[in-house]
Chains A and B, each alone.
Chain A
Amino acid sequence: MGMTSLMAESVFAAVFMDIEQAQKVLCPSADGFELMPLSWDDNQLATLAKLSDTRVPRHFNPKCWRAMAGGRAVGWVLSDRVAGKYDLIDYAAGFDAQGVAMGIEILAYRESHGAEIRQTGWRKQFVGKKGSAAMRFPDDIRNISGATLSCQHVTEGMQRLSAVVSLLTAGK
């Protein structure tokens, strides 16, 4: 694991929820979470962009944990960071072992504008969706008036995480 990332995490502590809390909420059946550092080269980033149908940031670097229950993998939790209107949004998402989204939690939101994405109703839209094609904005994931940029960017982030999970579950 990149220790520098741990430092960054400790300096910019989660405002609303830390990752341990999010893991329990997103994957309540798990009794442990195993950290899985991920990395990819430019070609692999291009593949992720195609799979997710989004523009993958150059420094796309989500953290990934495998959720375990009784020694068996039951899902995945990933955390990432996207831009809001003015500033960054930290969020985490849970997926079951088949890659179906189980939920999304906002860990840190650094501006009041667009903070409505923390609302349960908006976040629930992702639950049960599998694959980035099922999470298109604003067709599958609806907008919140006045929070368009936050909604769009978090949705695109979820599409990327969903693409990563689809690769993990497919073992490609």
Chain B
Amino acid sequence: MIKHTCIAAAVLLVAQASYGQTNSDVAAEMKQLRDELRQLRLEMQALKSQQNAKAEPVPAAVVPASVSPAMVSAVAPPAAIQEAAPNAVSLFGYGELNMTRPRHNAADAVATARRGVLGFGYRFNDRTRFAAELEIENAVVSAGDQGEVAFEQLYVEHDIHEHLSAKMGLFLLPIGYMNETHEPTRYMGVHRNLVETAIIPTTWREMGLGLRGTSDNGLRWDAGVVTSFDLTKWPTDSAQTKESPLGAIHQEGQLAKAASLAYYGVLNYDGIPGFNIGGSLFQGGIAQKQTIPSPNASVTLAEVHTKWQVGAWDLAALAAQGRFRDVGAFNASANGLNNPVPDQFRGWYAQAAYRLWRQGDYSLVPFARYERVNTALSFSGLPVGLTPAVDPDTRVWTVGANFYLHPQVVLKFDTQRYLNNSAYDRLNLGLGFHY
């Protein structure tokens, strides 16, 4: 009946339109009417399918007597209430720029556009999507510069069912807090914390398959099979390995040796709003079936973390311990003698942040963090007398504030004091944003 009424109305309109008009005017209006009719037909089909799916038909628009059109007007024109279909393409990313000035050596002050990340995704359907993050570090990438371009992530994700999804490709491991959530607006301080840089090599990505399961009671688990580290990349110079043992031998999906795989498992509990506790275990072979003195070398990394947001407080703590196994023979070789692989490395931090002030989008959040890290705790396989002395734990206080211009834009200031080596003491300034 609706259809007949529409057609009749269209015919009437055509008749009226043709009176006193040129043929081209009439043709234009005919085209417009045809388009409108086509649109109406599509809409009626959608309405019909909607009605068929319901036991009762959707009532016509109802205007409650108490609602005044002054604020909320019912029976809006279709254009006004048209809902935009979700865009299949999404763009996102973040940037961080900072300046660091050593407290006792102003000549070494450095400012850099530390990271610019462009993320993009595409949704194939409601269950399958792709996401990527392309990162440029330190502004310029060329033969004569220290910049770097890298895919931080490049993966396809598929929802197997409501509470289980799978990731395939190059993705960030869900270990610790910062590895997956490292946008500058999401952490305190200008630089990423030391533990989740030196012990957990943020941003740590591997290629492989990962599963994530969630439950309504707040449990979230992750498990996966991924590429591992490559012991043959272990440098003879200790500068890099002291900074981050795993960071020195990561492969990052670049022609990664895949003869030795790794496995990880993660469990988190988020059932109490504002509270999180979790832990993870990563274990992988690192010899990659290469002809090296330690063909069965492996690494294990265990980590626990907790976060509690109560009132204006945001409290967090994390501890991680890594262990290299079967590296004695490698250490006894020429490479190992120059820079032996440690048996253990570990670190922990505790952090307290307090939202001191907030007005609209602005907020000021001072914080303090204490960290203790040691990237080489003990060694094995070395001849007597050649075992290097174990350095004391690096102990760092970081105190500063994040000033948010908007929840997605932050100005940062902090000072870092290295308790056992004041030469590293520094002041940091930063700007960060995400979108």
Contacts and interface: CB of A to CB of B under 8 A. Distances in A.
Interface string B315-354: 0000000000000000000000000000000000000000
B43 A3 contact: yes
A16 B159 CA distance: 11
A121 B83 contact: no
Nearest to B131: A86
Interface string B70-81: 111111111111
Contacts of A59: 84
A110 B128 CA distance: 8
Nearest to B78: A2
Interface stretch (B29-37, B189-197, B271-279, B392-400): B271-279
A12 B43 contact: no
A1 B58 contact: yes
Given A61-B81, A171-B68, A86 B62 contact: no
Given A39-B73, A108-B126, A120 B273 contact: no
Contacts of B144: none
Contacts of B142: none
A5 interface: yes
A136 B54 CA distance: 36
B356 interface: no
A119 B42 contact: no
Interface string A18-41: 001000000000001011111110
A114 to B, nearest CB: 10
A36 B74 contact: yes
A116 to B, nearest CB: 5
A85 B91 CA distance: 10
Given A35-B58, A118-B216, A15 B126 contact: yes
A136 to B, nearest CB: 9
B6 interface: no
A171 B72 CA distance: 9
B272 A152 contact: no
A13 B126 contact: yes
B304 to A, nearest CB: 14
A142 interface: yes
B63 interface: yes
B76 A11 contact: no
B391 to A, nearest CB: 32
Given A7-B43, A10-B46, A111-B157, A40 B82 contact: no
B129 A145 contact: no
A3 B237 CA distance: 68
A2 B82 contact: yes
Contact of B61 (A1, A40, A139, A169): A1
B243 interface: no
A44 B181 CA distance: 37
Interface of A: 1-13, 15-16, 20, 32, 34-40, 44, 47, 59, 61, 63, 66, 73, 81, 85-88, 108, 110-113, 115-116, 118-122, 125, 138-139, 141-148, 152, 164, 167-169, 171-172
Given A145-B270, A146-B181, 8 more contacts: A2-B83, A36-B62, A36-B63, A39-B76, A86-B131, A119-B217, A121-B217, A146-B276
27 contacts: A2-B81, A5-B83, A6-B43, A6-B46, A8-B85, A12-B86, A34-B59, A35-B58, A35-B59, A38-B76, A39-B73, A44-B72, A61-B82, A86-B92, A86-B121, A87-B121, A87-B129, A111-B157, A116-B214, A119-B217, A121-B217, A121-B270, A139-B311, A143-B274, A144-B270, A144-B273, A172-B70
